[in-house]
Structure 1
Amino acid sequence: MPLQSARHFLQIPGPTNIPERVLRAIDRPTIDHRGPEFAALARECFEGLKSVFKTTGKAVIYPASGTGAWEAALVNTLSPGDAVLMFETGHFATLWRRIAGKLGLEVDFVPGDWRHGADPTAVEEKLNADRAHRIKAVLVVHNETSTGIASRIAEIRQAMNRARHPALFMVDTISSLASLDYRQDEWGVDVTVAGSQKGLMLPPGLSFNAMSEKALDAAKTARLPKSYWSWEDMLAANSSGFFPYTPATNLLFGLREALTMLREEGLDNVFKRHARFGEATRRAVRAWGLELLGLDPREYSNSLTAVLLPEGHNEVELRRVILENFNMSLGSGLGKVQGKVFRIGHLGDFNDLMLCGTLCGVEMGLALAGVPHQQGGVAAAMAYLAAENASQQQTARRRSAS
C-alpha cells in the first residue's frame, strides 16, 4: 500500500483507539517494581478495578492477553475431569471451549447458530437435569466479539438460581467491560475474565480475573496444574502491592489513568454513550438495506456491530477496498462467519464524530466494492445522534433550572 495521509481509523472491535492521556501515562520511565512507588500504583489499580467490575471482591492482573485470563479462571477453580457447561455463541466461545478441553475438563458445549446469545432457558434445563451436580461451572461469553451479540447474564444467573444448582458462574467480559453494563456482585458471577485492549482503552498486554468468595473457596481444592496463573501466589504478593513476578509496569501507569478517565465520565454515562453508538450504527445498517447478524434485539451489542453481506460478496474484499481507499480497518469475519460478516467497532475512546466518520467510510466502501445497498445509512445515524444530543441538552437544562 502507498503511504496514506492523516490518521488511521482503527475501527476493529479491539484493540481500540488509545486516548492521549493513557499514551502519555504509559510514556514514562519504568520504576522499580519492588519499590514503594510501585506498590502505591498497584494498590490504586486493584482498588479502581473493583468499581469497573462492580464488585467488593478481589481482582488480579496478569501480564497476558485475555486468553491467559480464560485459562486462569479454569485452572484455579476446577479439577481434572470436572464437567463444565458452555455455549456456542461464536468464535471466542469456541476458543474458550478448546482451552477447557485441552485442560482435561469434560465440556458440554451447547450448539448455537452464532446469531443468538446463550439461552437462559437452556441453562435452566441443563442444570435441572444434572441432579448429581456433576457440572462444576457454567461458562458464558457476555459479549461475543465475533458476532456482536451480548448474552443476558443477569437472566442466566436467575436461571441458575431457579435450578438451585451449586455450579460456579464464569463470564468473559473481554469486549464488554467498561462498555456495556456489567455487575459482578449483583449478577452473582463467580469469576469475571477481562482484557485491557477494549473498553479499558489500553494496548494489549493486561488481563484480569475478578473473583467471588465462592470462587476463592473452590480454588482451595482445585487440582488442575497451575504456576504462572496461581491466584494464591498472586493474591499473596498483591496484599503488599507487589506481584510474584515482573509486572507490566508501564501498562499499569496506563491502567491507572484509564480508570481515572472512566471515573470522571461516570460508568453510567459510559454505558449510555456506547448505547448511543450501537443504536446509531444499527440504524445505518438498516438504512443501507443490509442485515444485522444478531437476530434478537435484547442481545444487540453496543460495543460492536456485525453486518452480513449479500450472497456473492466477500467481507475480505470490502475491507480491502475500505483500507486502501480510506485508511480504515474494520473487523473481519471469524470462524463460521468468515467471508460473510464485517464488524464495526464502536467502543472505548470514541465519540459521535468518530462514529460518523467510520460510517462514512463504510458507506463509500460499499459503493466502491459494488456491494448492493441503499444510500442514506450515514444520514440515518446522524439524525439519530442529533436527536439524542438535543434530548440530552434539554434534560440538562431542565435539571439546571430546577
Structure 2
Amino acid sequence: MARQAGRHFLQIPGPSAVPDRILRAISAQTIDHRGPAFAEVGRQALSGMQSVFKTKNPVIIYPASGTGAWEAALVNTMSEGDRVLMYETGHFATMWMKMARKLGLEPEFIEGDWRGGADPERIEARLSADREHAIKAVCVVHNETSTGSVSPIAEVRRAIDAAGHPALLMVDTISGLASIDFRFDEWGVDVAVSGSQKGLMLPPGLSFNAVSETALEASRSARLRRSYWDWEDMLGPNANGYFPYTPATNLLYGLVEAVAMLHEEGLDHVFARHARHGAATRAAVRAWGLEVLCRRQGQESGVLTAAVMPDGHSADAFRATVLRHFDVSLGNGLSKVADRVFRIGHLGDFNDAMLLGTLSAIEMGLGKAGVPHRGGGVDAAMAALDGRQEAPAVS
C-alpha cells in the first residue's frame, strides 16, 4: 500500500488514541516488580484509580481486558445458581449476561430497545416483586458503547433502595470512566468494572474492579470458583503497593501518567469536554439528516455517537470509504445493529480541531459513498462548539 501522509484518526469508541506523554511513560525500562522501587509505582496506580472512581474503597487492578473484570465482579460475589437482574441496553450488556449464564448463574434480562439507558422504574418494579430476595445483584452498563447511551446509575441505586432490596449494584463503566461522571461512593455502587483503553487513554491490557465493603462481605461467602480473579489474593499485597503475580509494569507506568493528566485538566473539565463534543457530534449527525441511535434526551453519551444509516445503505461500506479516502477509522455496528450504524468515538485525549477533522471526513465520505444526506453537518458542529446554538442536555 502507498504511504498515507499525516496521522491516522482512530475514531472508534475505544481503544482511544494514546497520548505521547503516556507512550513515553510506558517506554521506560521494566523494573523488578518485587523490588522496593516498584512499591511506589503500585501505590500511585492504586490510589490514583481510587481518585478516578471517586471512592475510598479498594480498587483492584488486573492485567486483563474489561471482560476479565466482568468475570472478576461475578465470581467474587456470586454462587452457582444465583439470580442476577440485568438490563438490555445493547451489545455489551448482552455479552455480560451471556457470561453470567456460562458461569452457572441465572441471569434475568429486562428487555430494552437499544435506544437509551436502563430504566430505574422497571428495575424497581421487578425488585419489589422479588419478595424472597432471590435476586442477588443488579448489573447495569453505565455507558453502552454499542449504542451511545448512558444509564442513570444514581437513579438505579435509588430504585434498589426504594424497593427495600439487598441486591448488590454492579456497574460496567468500561467506556464511561474518566469520560463521563462516575461517583462510586456517592452513588452507592458495590462493584464497578472498567478498562484502560477508553477514557484512561492507555492501550488495552489493564482492567479494574472498585469494590464496596458490602461486596467484600459478599465475597467471603460466595462459592463460585476463582483463583486468578480472587480479590482476597490481591488485597494483601496491594496494601504495600505490590501484586500477587507479575503485573503489567509498563502499563502501570502509563496509568500513573494518565491519572496525572486527568487531574491536571480536572475531572469536571474532562467530563464537560466530552459532553460538549457529544452535543456537537449529534448536531452534525442531525444536520446531515441522519438519525442518532440514542433517542432519549439526557441519556446521550459524551463518549461516542452512533448514527443510523438510511435504509438500503451499508454502514460498513461507508466506513470502508472513509478509511480508504481519509485514513479515519469509525466504529462498526454490533450484533442487532450490525451494518446499520456507524459509531463516532469522541473520547480520550481529544480536542475541538480533532473533532472537526473527524466530522469533515465523515461529511465528505457520505458524498463519496453515495449516502443520501444534507450538507452543513460540520457547520452545525462548529455552531454548537462556539455556543451559537443551545447544546442538548447530556447525562
Normalising to structure 2: TM-score of the pair?
Answer: 0.97
Match of 1:392 in 2: none
SS in 1 for 2:171: strand
Match of 1:397 in 2: none
* Cα distance in 2 between the residues matched to 1:2 and 1:323: 14
Match of 1:360 in 2: 360
Match of 1:5 in 2: 5
Identity of aligned residues (%): 65
* Per-residue deviation, 1:2: 3.4
* Per-residue deviation, 1:387: 2.6
Match of 1:77 in 2: 77
SS in 1 for 2:223: coil
* Cα distance in 1 between the residues matched to 2:266 and 2:279: 20
SS in 1 for 2:386: helix
- Read off the aligned partner of 1:198 and give its amino acid letter: K
* Cα distance in 2 between the residues matched to 1:218 and 1:373: 53
Match of 2:342 in 1: 342
Match of 1:48 in 2: 48
1:315-352 per-position Cα deviation (integer Å, ceiling 9, x unaligned): 11000000000001000000100010000000000000
- Read off the aligned partner of 1:57 and give its amino acid letter: N
* Per-residue deviation, 1:132: 0.2
* Cα distance in 1 between the residues matched to 2:2 and 2:283: 34
- Read off the aligned partner of 1:177 and give its amino acid letter: L
Match of 2:129 in 1: 129
Match of 1:328 in 2: 328
Equivalent positions of 1:135-146 (< 5 A) are 135-146=135-146
* Per-residue deviation, 1:358: 0.4
Match of 1:175 in 2: 175
* Per-residue deviation, 1:110: 1.1
Match of 1:395 in 2: none
- Read off the aligned partner of 1:248 and give its amino acid letter: A
* Cα distance in 2 between the residues matched to 1:246 and 1:388: 52
Match of 1:237 in 2: 237
* Per-residue deviation, 1:388: 7.6
Match of 1:394 in 2: none
SS in 2 for 1:89: coil
* Per-residue deviation, 1:386: 2.1
- Read off the aligned partner of 2:89 and give its amino acid letter: T
* Cα distance in 2 between the residues matched to 1:179 and 1:116: 18
**Is there any run of 5+ residues in structure 1 with no aligned partner, and where?**
390-402
* Cα distance in 2 between the residues matched to 1:388 and 1:64: 44
- Read off the aligned partner of 1:78 and give its amino acid letter: M
- Read off the aligned partner of 1:72 and give its amino acid letter: A
* Cα distance in 2 between the residues matched to 1:156 and 1:111: 16
- Read off the aligned partner of 2:235 and give its amino acid letter: L
1:15-42 per-position Cα deviation (integer Å, ceiling 9, x unaligned): 0011111000001110000011111100
Find runs of 4+ consecutive structure 1 residues off by over 3 angstroms.
none
**Is there any run of 5+ residues in structure 2 with no aligned partner, and where?**
390-395
1:22 aligns with 2:52: no
Normalising to structure 1: TM-score of the pair?
Answer: 0.96
Match of 2:113 in 1: 113
Number of residue pairs aligned between Structure 1 and Structure 2? 390
Match of 2:226 in 1: 226
* Cα distance in 2 between the residues matched to 1:135 and 1:64: 28
- Read off the aligned partner of 2:185 and give its amino acid letter: D
- Read off the aligned partner of 2:26 and give its amino acid letter: I
Equivalent positions of 1:2-401 (< 5 A) are 2-387=2-387
